[in-house]
Amino acid sequence: MSKRNSGKPCRTLFITGTGTDVGKTYVTGLILKKLHENGNSAAYYKAAMSGNDRREDGTLIPGDAMIVREVAGIRQPLEEMCPYVYENAVSPHLASRIEGNPVEMEQVRKGFEALCEQYEYVTVEGSGGILCPIGMDEEEIWLEDVIQSCHMGCVMVADAGLGTINSVGLTAFYMKQKGIPLRGIIFNHYEPGNVLHEDNRRMCEHLTGVKVVACVRDKDQELRIGLEQLQDLYHGRDPQLR
Protein backbone atom coordinates (compact mmCIF):
# COMPACT_ATOMS: atom_id res chain seq x y z
CA MET A 1 0.00 0.00 0.00
CA SER A 2 1.56 3.28 -1.07
CA LYS A 3 0.93 6.39 0.98
CA ARG A 4 -0.03 9.61 -0.71
CA ASN A 5 1.94 12.83 -0.43
CA SER A 6 0.58 14.53 2.69
CA GLY A 7 0.82 17.89 0.94
CA LYS A 8 -1.78 16.90 -1.64
CA PRO A 9 -5.50 16.78 -0.90
CA CYS A 10 -7.16 13.42 -1.51
CA ARG A 11 -9.36 13.29 -4.59
CA THR A 12 -12.69 11.49 -4.35
CA LEU A 13 -15.43 10.17 -6.63
CA PHE A 14 -18.72 8.37 -6.02
CA ILE A 15 -19.91 5.70 -8.48
CA THR A 16 -23.67 5.39 -8.68
CA GLY A 17 -25.83 3.44 -11.09
CA THR A 18 -29.23 3.54 -12.73
CA GLY A 19 -30.14 0.46 -10.69
CA THR A 20 -28.93 -2.87 -9.37
CA ASP A 21 -26.75 -5.12 -11.57
CA VAL A 22 -25.76 -2.51 -14.17
CA GLY A 23 -22.08 -3.31 -13.58
CA LYS A 24 -20.98 -0.64 -11.07
CA THR A 25 -18.53 -2.96 -9.32
CA TYR A 26 -16.73 -4.09 -12.47
CA VAL A 27 -16.56 -0.56 -13.87
CA THR A 28 -15.26 0.68 -10.51
CA GLY A 29 -12.56 -1.98 -10.70
CA LEU A 30 -11.53 -0.76 -14.16
CA ILE A 31 -11.37 2.82 -12.87
CA LEU A 32 -9.08 1.85 -10.01
CA LYS A 33 -6.99 -0.31 -12.32
CA LYS A 34 -6.26 2.64 -14.61
CA LEU A 35 -5.30 4.86 -11.69
CA HIS A 36 -3.16 2.15 -10.05
CA GLU A 37 -1.33 1.15 -13.23
CA ASN A 38 -0.41 4.77 -13.83
CA GLY A 39 1.29 5.13 -10.46
CA ASN A 40 -1.54 6.62 -8.40
CA SER A 41 -2.38 5.26 -4.96
CA ALA A 42 -6.04 4.33 -5.25
CA ALA A 43 -8.52 2.97 -2.71
CA TYR A 44 -12.02 1.50 -2.85
CA TYR A 45 -14.80 2.10 -0.34
CA LYS A 46 -18.44 1.09 0.00
CA ALA A 47 -20.56 2.14 2.96
CA ALA A 48 -22.73 -0.99 3.09
CA MET A 49 -22.55 -4.23 1.14
CA SER A 50 -25.27 -6.89 1.16
CA GLY A 51 -25.70 -10.28 -0.50
CA ASN A 52 -22.36 -11.72 0.66
CA ASP A 53 -21.20 -15.31 1.26
CA ARG A 54 -19.65 -16.62 4.45
CA ARG A 55 -16.24 -18.16 4.99
CA GLU A 56 -15.90 -21.51 6.73
CA ASP A 57 -15.34 -19.68 10.02
CA GLY A 58 -18.67 -17.86 9.62
CA THR A 59 -17.28 -14.43 8.79
CA LEU A 60 -18.71 -12.60 5.79
CA ILE A 61 -16.74 -12.10 2.58
CA PRO A 62 -17.16 -8.57 1.13
CA GLY A 63 -17.79 -9.81 -2.41
CA ASP A 64 -17.76 -6.50 -4.28
CA ALA A 65 -14.51 -5.51 -2.60
CA MET A 66 -12.97 -8.83 -3.66
CA ILE A 67 -14.04 -8.24 -7.27
CA VAL A 68 -12.60 -4.71 -7.32
CA ARG A 69 -9.30 -5.89 -5.85
CA GLU A 70 -9.02 -8.61 -8.49
CA VAL A 71 -9.97 -6.40 -11.44
CA ALA A 72 -7.86 -3.44 -10.33
CA GLY A 73 -4.85 -5.42 -9.16
CA ILE A 74 -4.63 -3.48 -5.90
CA ARG A 75 -3.62 -4.88 -2.51
CA GLN A 76 -5.81 -2.75 -0.29
CA PRO A 77 -6.84 -4.66 2.87
CA LEU A 78 -10.44 -5.92 2.68
CA GLU A 79 -11.19 -4.78 6.22
CA GLU A 80 -10.83 -1.09 5.28
CA MET A 81 -12.98 -1.33 2.15
CA CYS A 82 -16.45 -1.65 3.72
CA PRO A 83 -17.55 -1.02 7.31
CA TYR A 84 -20.92 -2.80 7.00
CA VAL A 85 -21.19 -6.23 5.35
CA TYR A 86 -24.43 -8.26 5.29
CA GLU A 87 -25.43 -11.72 4.11
CA ASN A 88 -28.98 -11.15 2.88
CA ALA A 89 -29.26 -9.97 -0.73
CA VAL A 90 -31.59 -7.07 0.02
CA SER A 91 -31.25 -3.33 0.54
CA PRO A 92 -28.82 -2.55 3.40
CA HIS A 93 -31.56 -1.06 5.59
CA LEU A 94 -33.49 -4.34 5.45
CA ALA A 95 -30.41 -6.53 5.75
CA SER A 96 -29.40 -4.75 8.95
CA ARG A 97 -32.95 -5.09 10.29
CA ILE A 98 -32.72 -8.85 9.74
CA GLU A 99 -29.10 -9.35 10.85
CA GLY A 100 -28.43 -6.46 13.22
CA ASN A 101 -25.47 -4.05 13.08
CA PRO A 102 -27.30 -1.04 11.55
CA VAL A 103 -25.30 1.53 9.61
CA GLU A 104 -24.08 4.57 11.53
CA MET A 105 -23.07 7.60 9.50
CA GLU A 106 -20.28 8.45 11.92
CA GLN A 107 -18.61 5.10 11.26
CA VAL A 108 -19.05 5.48 7.49
CA ARG A 109 -17.38 8.89 7.57
CA LYS A 110 -14.63 7.64 9.87
CA GLY A 111 -13.68 4.85 7.46
CA PHE A 112 -13.87 7.18 4.46
CA GLU A 113 -11.70 9.86 6.06
CA ALA A 114 -9.13 7.28 7.12
CA LEU A 115 -8.70 6.31 3.47
CA CYS A 116 -8.47 9.95 2.44
CA GLU A 117 -5.50 10.33 4.78
CA GLN A 118 -3.68 7.40 3.14
CA TYR A 119 -4.50 7.46 -0.59
CA GLU A 120 -4.39 9.95 -3.45
CA TYR A 121 -7.69 8.73 -4.93
CA VAL A 122 -10.67 7.26 -3.06
CA THR A 123 -13.46 5.78 -5.19
CA VAL A 124 -16.72 5.04 -3.39
CA GLU A 125 -19.28 2.65 -4.86
CA GLY A 126 -22.96 2.99 -4.06
CA SER A 127 -25.45 0.28 -3.18
CA GLY A 128 -28.02 -0.30 -5.95
CA GLY A 129 -29.29 2.87 -7.61
CA ILE A 130 -29.12 6.44 -6.34
CA LEU A 131 -32.34 6.14 -4.33
CA CYS A 132 -31.26 3.47 -1.87
CA PRO A 133 -32.03 3.34 1.88
CA ILE A 134 -28.92 2.48 3.88
CA GLY A 135 -30.48 2.59 7.34
CA MET A 136 -34.02 3.22 8.59
CA ASP A 137 -34.10 2.08 12.21
CA GLU A 138 -31.42 3.51 14.50
CA GLU A 139 -30.71 6.32 12.04
CA GLU A 140 -32.42 7.19 8.75
CA ILE A 141 -29.70 7.22 6.10
CA TRP A 142 -30.12 7.32 2.34
CA LEU A 143 -27.37 6.94 -0.22
CA GLU A 144 -27.54 10.65 -1.00
CA ASP A 145 -26.72 11.37 2.67
CA VAL A 146 -23.47 9.44 2.33
CA ILE A 147 -22.55 11.33 -0.86
CA GLN A 148 -23.29 14.74 0.61
CA SER A 149 -21.75 14.00 4.00
CA CYS A 150 -18.48 13.05 2.32
CA HIS A 151 -18.68 15.93 -0.20
CA MET A 152 -18.38 13.82 -3.34
CA GLY A 153 -19.23 14.28 -6.98
CA CYS A 154 -20.53 11.34 -9.00
CA VAL A 155 -20.18 9.27 -12.12
CA MET A 156 -23.21 7.26 -13.21
CA VAL A 157 -22.95 3.74 -14.63
CA ALA A 158 -25.75 2.73 -17.01
CA ASP A 159 -26.51 -0.22 -19.24
CA ALA A 160 -26.12 0.78 -22.89
CA GLY A 161 -29.26 -1.06 -23.99
CA LEU A 162 -33.01 -0.59 -24.16
CA GLY A 163 -34.58 1.58 -21.45
CA THR A 164 -31.45 3.48 -20.53
CA ILE A 165 -32.74 6.89 -21.68
CA ASN A 166 -35.48 6.69 -19.07
CA SER A 167 -33.28 5.33 -16.28
CA VAL A 168 -30.41 7.74 -16.95
CA GLY A 169 -32.79 10.70 -17.19
CA LEU A 170 -34.63 9.91 -13.97
CA THR A 171 -31.40 9.30 -12.07
CA ALA A 172 -29.81 12.51 -13.35
CA PHE A 173 -32.90 14.60 -12.58
CA TYR A 174 -33.10 13.20 -9.04
CA MET A 175 -29.43 13.98 -8.46
CA LYS A 176 -29.89 17.52 -9.75
CA GLN A 177 -32.85 18.02 -7.42
CA LYS A 178 -30.73 16.86 -4.47
CA GLY A 179 -27.75 19.02 -5.46
CA ILE A 180 -25.46 16.07 -6.20
CA PRO A 181 -22.87 16.88 -8.90
CA LEU A 182 -22.94 14.47 -11.85
CA ARG A 183 -19.60 14.65 -13.65
CA GLY A 184 -20.00 11.93 -16.24
CA ILE A 185 -21.82 8.82 -17.45
CA ILE A 186 -20.24 5.45 -18.25
CA PHE A 187 -22.10 3.01 -20.50
CA ASN A 188 -21.64 -0.68 -19.72
CA HIS A 189 -22.28 -3.64 -22.09
CA TYR A 190 -21.67 -1.27 -24.99
CA GLU A 191 -21.49 -2.61 -28.55
CA PRO A 192 -19.77 -0.35 -31.09
CA GLY A 193 -21.88 -0.04 -34.23
CA ASN A 194 -25.08 -0.99 -32.41
CA VAL A 195 -27.58 1.61 -33.61
CA LEU A 196 -29.55 1.52 -30.35
CA HIS A 197 -26.48 1.88 -28.14
CA GLU A 198 -25.06 4.76 -30.17
CA ASP A 199 -28.40 6.57 -30.21
CA ASN A 200 -28.81 6.02 -26.47
CA ARG A 201 -25.44 7.68 -25.96
CA ARG A 202 -26.47 10.74 -27.95
CA MET A 203 -29.90 10.94 -26.33
CA CYS A 204 -28.60 10.60 -22.76
CA GLU A 205 -26.09 13.39 -23.36
CA HIS A 206 -28.82 15.55 -24.90
CA LEU A 207 -31.26 14.84 -22.07
CA THR A 208 -28.88 15.39 -19.15
CA GLY A 209 -26.25 17.77 -20.51
CA VAL A 210 -23.64 15.34 -19.14
CA LYS A 211 -21.04 13.57 -21.31
CA VAL A 212 -20.76 9.81 -21.68
CA VAL A 213 -17.08 9.74 -20.73
CA ALA A 214 -16.43 6.05 -21.42
CA CYS A 215 -18.08 2.98 -22.91
CA VAL A 216 -17.26 -0.46 -21.51
CA ARG A 217 -17.68 -3.51 -23.73
CA ASP A 218 -18.25 -6.99 -22.35
CA LYS A 219 -14.97 -8.57 -21.18
CA ASP A 220 -13.08 -5.28 -21.41
CA GLN A 221 -9.90 -5.29 -19.33
CA GLU A 222 -9.17 -1.58 -19.70
CA LEU A 223 -11.24 1.57 -19.34
CA ARG A 224 -11.19 3.54 -22.60
CA ILE A 225 -10.61 7.01 -21.19
CA GLY A 226 -7.52 9.20 -20.99
CA LEU A 227 -5.80 9.30 -17.61
CA GLU A 228 -6.10 13.07 -17.28
CA GLN A 229 -9.77 12.95 -18.23
CA LEU A 230 -10.36 10.27 -15.59
CA GLN A 231 -8.48 12.24 -12.96
CA ASP A 232 -10.53 15.34 -13.78
CA LEU A 233 -13.69 13.49 -12.74
CA TYR A 234 -12.39 13.41 -9.17
CA HIS A 235 -12.87 16.27 -6.75
CA GLY A 236 -10.04 17.37 -4.48
CA ARG A 237 -10.76 17.55 -0.77
CA ASP A 238 -8.79 18.14 2.39
CA PRO A 239 -9.52 15.32 4.85
CA GLN A 240 -8.56 17.65 7.72
CA LEU A 241 -11.54 19.90 6.95
CA ARG A 242 -14.80 18.88 8.63
- The DSSP secondary-structure symbol of 60 reads B
Whether 33 sits among the annotated catalytic residues: the reply is no
Q: Which of 46, 110, 178, 211 is an active site residue?
A: 46
**Is the Cβ–Cβ distance between 212 and 185 less than 8 Å?**
yes
C-alpha distances in Å from residue 155, one per residue of 30, 158, 181: 13, 10, 9
Task: Report the sign of the C-alpha dihedral through residues 86, 70, 143, 80, in that order.
Answer: positive
Closest by alpha carbon to 156, among 220, 85, 204? 204
Closest by alpha carbon to 160, among 199, 103, 129? 199
Instruction: Tell me the C-alpha distance between 226 and 26, whole Å.
Output: 18
**Is the Cβ–Cβ distance between 154 and 16 less than 8 Å?**
yes
Give the bridge partners for 135, in sequence order. Answer: 141
Compute how many other C-beta atoms are within 10 angstroms of the C-beta atom of residue 228.
Answer: 7
**Residues with catalytic annotation?**
46
